[in-house]
Amino acid sequence: MSEHIEYMKEKTSIDVLLNNGYTIKSITENLSGAFVEFERITGSKIHSETLHILTADARKYFSVHLINRK
């Protein structure tokens, strides 16, 4: 599959979480790529989701989001 299509799929899954009120809680990068842990707190409940990001462009994408969050 084209690298770009792969990226767009990963970008969409990041956007979906962000648009649903999730924020990035932690990032673990290793030989397999990046594992981005998202978290949303509603009341006393903590919802957690982890995305395994494979493409280089998506790794840039969530990083920009992280920088802008400050």
User: CB within 8 A of 18, min separation 6: which ones?
Assistant: 38, 65
For other proteins, give the closer residue by CB, 33 or 61: 61
CB closer to other proteins, 45 vs 67? 67
Number of H helices, E strands in the chain: 2, 3
Cβ-based nearer residue to other proteins, 31 or 64:
64
Binding site for other proteins (CB under 8 A): 2-4, 24-27, 29, 60-61, 63-64, 66-68, 70
- H or E stretch including 47? strand 45-53
